Structure 1
Amino acid sequence: MATYFTSDMHFGHTNIIRFCDRPFDDVGHMNARLAELWNDTVSDDDTVWVLGDVALGALDDSLTWIGRLTGHKILVPGNHDRCWVGDRALGRGTPEARAERREKARARYLAAGFAEIHDDPGRFPIAGSEAAVSHFPFSGDSHGEDRYVEHRPEDDGGWVLHGHVHDTWRQRDRQLNVGVDAWGGRPVAVDRLAALIADGPRDLEPLTWDLPAGLSRP
């Protein structure tokens, strides 16, 4: 039984292909390759922490891909997930109406195949220490100026496992981006992240996407 981290799959999101220069000619190919890479990496006995931004587009269709993925799946919602605590649609109306919308949103993701949803997972034991776990890094963004500052973890001098920045970096100082755009489309094993922490703070570029033999970028 192994533990993996990943984030920012963006199932069903056509524009992410252009935004992040993903090597696919349409969203159907992207969805299928993401699922193939996941299932080639993760066994049914493994656990995968998904640090947000699972699916966009027609959500009911996009979320069906979660049920096709192996392993015990834990979601830490990101800013594009409808069950995220900061989602504007959850913040309107009476407290009762907000709570009802929140539960309905969470139910959609659980029904799609997530076993657990952790709004604030706190810290994860890794490399003899503990790292913060969040959709967001301490600082930095894929859109220039930092967004959602109030939802970011506090930099206490330790490490953070995060998503959100897509192909901006794989590692920046003590920030480890576990997103698919940084790891060739695959979830990354906790042992690989522990090795990076053991090597200390530095900057690393994203890995190239893992494509089938003989297939080049479109």
Structure 2
Amino acid sequence: MRKEMIWFTSDMHLGHEKALDFTCRPWNQIDEMNEGIIANINEKVKENDELYILGDYSFKITALEAAALRKKIYCKKVHLVPGNHDKDWNNKLVQGTFIVEQPITVLKIDGRKYVLSHFPMADWQSMSHESIHLHGHIHSEGSLYNEMNRMQGLYRYDVGVDANGYSPVSMEEILAWFDGVECRGRVKWKDWVDETGDKRVRRKLAGL
């Protein structure tokens, strides 16, 4: 018998017509996109699983319209970590649509921490102890961003639909992604200020 699973996704932007263009999504109409993303969720996430949406569930539609789309998702336990485009899901008209979480939510499962937020972070709780930071917001397309994190030993993963074939990704898949990867540990402040690779910054840092 299949055990219950935990899944993650983000940046669905249901109802947001411009999302068809700025992320090159494979649908021609917004209704097709809405139905396609929901169908992809229902194909993987079962009724008694748990699904965490890390922000930007919908945009440019009313809360009631967005709540109606939520009813098409089979999963009973859908958590929402708020993003910059999300509604007030504690409003009495739509209260109960989601299990609304804190902007930074920490899960501890089988001795490992998962730090969830909509926005990506350079440093996060228990980073040196192989905690995994899951986020959205940046709309990375394809696997390149996640591959670059893995290559550098950064346990950071974009769960957004654009980075994962417009489908949610399971906790098991994320663990397998980082299997055998040596954890880099905490990011040094010099790395934060040299993100662009600017030669002037490198010279300045070399002189410290």
TM-score of the superposition, structure 2-length normalised?
0.71
1:1-218 correspondence runs (5 A): 1-59=4-62, 60-71=64-75, 72-83=77-88, 103-104=90-91, 107-111=92-96, 113-114=97-98, 116-125=99-108, 128-139=111-122, 156-157=127-128, 158-168=131-141, 169-171=145-147, 172=149, 173-200=154-181
- Evaluate the alpha carbon distance shift between residue 153 and residue 120 of structure 1 in structure 2; reply closer, same or farther with a 3 A threshold: farther
Can you give the 5+ residue segments of structure 1 that lack an aligned partner in the other structure?
Answer: 84-101, 140-151, 203-218
Find the aligned partners of 1:165 and 1:194 in 2 and give their Cα distance: 21
Question: Cα RMSD (Å) of the superposition?
Answer: 2.4
- Evaluate the alpha carbon distance shift between residue 61 and residue 138 of structure 1 in structure 2; reply closer, same or farther with a 3 A threshold: same
Q: What's the CA shift for 1:53? A: 0.3
Q: Deviations over 1:147-205 (max 9, x none)?
A: xxxxx956844431111111253352321011111111111111011112323279xxx
- The one-letter code sitting in structure 1 at the alignment partner of 2:37 is L
- Specify the structure having the higher radius of gyration (Cα): 2
- The one-letter code sitting in structure 1 at the alignment partner of 2:14 is F
Aligned length: 168
- The one-letter code sitting in structure 1 at the alignment partner of 2:52 is W
Can you give the 5+ residue segments of structure 2 that lack an aligned partner in the other structure?
Answer: 184-208
Find the aligned partners of 2:65 and 2:83 in 1 and give their Cα distance: 19
Once the two structures are overlaid, the 10-residue window that deviates more, 175-184 or 157-166, is 157-166
User: 2:82 touches 2:103 (CA, 8 Å); kept in 1?
Assistant: no
Find the aligned partners of 2:12 and 2:45 in 1 and give their Cα distance: 15
Q: Deviations over 1:40-70 (max 9, x none)?
A: 1111111001111001112232332111102
3-state DSSP class of the match of 2:161? coil
